[in-house]
Amino acid sequence: MILSPIKPLFLPRYSQVLCQTLSERNSEITSLKNEGENLKRDNAIASGMVSSLQKDMLAKDEQVQQLKENQNKDKDHQLEALGSTCSVLKEELKQEDAHRELREAQEKELKLCKTQIQDMEKEMKKLRAELRKSCTEQSVISRTLREKSKLEHFRSQVIKATYGRAKPFPGKPVTDQQLIEKIAQVTEDNINFQQKKWTLQKETQLSSSKQEETTENIEKLRTSLDSCQACMKMSCCTSDLKKEVDLLQHLQVSPPVSGLQKVVLDVLRHALSWLEEVEQLLRDLGILPSGADKGYWDFFSHIVA
C-alpha cells in the first residue's frame, strides 16, 4: 500500500498539536525541576536533621554511658550492702539452725514425755478399772454375805415357826428339802383349815339367813291366814274368800313354809267348796237372794235378829 503525501490542509493542525505537546513537555520538565529542587531542599533538611539526630544520639550515648557508670557504682554499693546483709543473714540462719536443732531436740523430748504420760495415764486407767472392779466385787461379796446372813436368820426363824421349839432332828441340821416339805405341809394344812373355816362360816351364814327367811315367810303366812280368818268371821262370802285364797296362793315363800302353805291352801279350798255349795243350796231354796254380795253368815245373823 502506497502512502499518499500529507496534504497542505493538515499542516497547521499538526503544528498546533506539536506545539501543544512541546508545551506540555516543557511544563513537565519545569515541574520535574521544581520537584528536584524541592527534593534537594528536603534532602538538605533531612541531612541537617540527621546530623542533629546524630549529635543528639552522641549526647544520649554519653548520658547513657554516664548513667551506666552511675548505675554500676550504685550496683556495687548495693552488692556490698547485699553482701553484708547476706553475711548477717547467714549468721542469723546459723543461729536459727542452732535454735531449730535445739527446738527439735526439745520437741523430741516433749513427744517422749507425752508418750510416757499417755502410757502412765493408760496404766492409771487400767489400775482404776481394776480398783473399781475390785470394789464392785467386794461390795457384791459384802452384799452376798449380808443377804446370806439374812437368809440364814430368816431360815432359822422359818424353822422355829415351822417346827416350834422342839428340835425336829436332834444332832442333825434341817436340810432345805426337809424345810420345803415341811413348809408345803404347813401351807397345805393352813389352806385346808381356812377352807374348813370358810365352809363353816358359810354354813353358819346360810343357816342364819335360812332361819331369818323362814321366820319372815312364817310371818307372811300368818298375816295371810289372819286375813282369811277375819274374812270368814266377818262376811264369809265366797268372793272375798276366793280373793284371800288367791292372795295366799301367790304368796312367795320358801321351804319348809311352802309345805305348810300348801296344806293351808288345801283346807281353805275345801272350805271354799263347802261354802259355795251352801250358798248355792240357799239360793235354790230361795232363802238367799241370787244377787246378794254378802255371805250366808250375815244372812243367818239377819234371820236370828
Q: Is the peptide bond before 168 cis (omega within 30 degrees of 0)?
A: no
CA distances from 260 to 217, 222, 266 (A): 10, 11, 10
Domain ranges of the chain: 30-117, 209-304
Q: Is the peptide bond before 173 cis (omega within 30 degrees of 0)?
A: no
Note the Cα 253 to chain centre separation in Å: 66
Question: 0.75 cut: is pTM over it?
Answer: no
- Asked if residue 205 lies in contact with residue 236, where contact means CB atoms within 8 angstroms, the answer is no
Note the Cα 84 to chain centre separation in Å: 77
Q: How confident is the model at residue 305 (pLDDT cuts 50, 70, 90)?
A: very low
Q: Tell me 253's DSSP state.
A: -
Written as one letter, the residue type at 97 is D
pLDDT reading at 203 higher than 70: no
- Asked if residue 241 lies in contact with residue 271, where contact means CB atoms within 8 angstroms, the answer is yes
Q: How confident is the model at residue 21 (pLDDT cuts 50, 70, 90)?
A: confident
More confident residue, 228 or 21: 21
The pLDDT of residue 207: 61
Give the closest residue to 280 by CA, choosing from 295, 301, 300.
295
Cβ-in-10-Å burial (0-12, 13-18, 19+) of 304 comes to: exposed
**How far is the C-alpha of 259 from the C-alpha of 217, rounded, in Å?**
11
The pLDDT of residue 11: 55
Summarised one tens digit per residue, pLDDT across range 100-150 is: 888 888 889 888 988 899 989 898 888 999 888 888 888 888 888 887 787
**How far is the C-alpha of 282 from the C-alpha of 276, rounded, in Å?**
10
The pLDDT of residue 240: 76
More confident residue, 34 or 286: 34
pLDDT reading at 31 higher than 60: yes
Q: What share of the chain is helix, strand, coil (3-state, %, to 5)?
A: 85, 0, 15
Note the Cα 62 to chain centre separation in Å: 95
Summarised one tens digit per residue, pLDDT across range 76-95 is: 888 888 888 888 888 888 88
pLDDT reading at 274 higher than 70: yes
Q: Tell me 9's DSSP state.
A: G
Grid cell of 244 as nine digits: 284371800
Residue range 19-36: mean pLDDT, rounded: 86
**How far is the C-alpha of 288 from the C-alpha of 282, rounded, in Å?**
5
Cβ-in-10-Å burial (0-12, 13-18, 19+) of 202 comes to: exposed
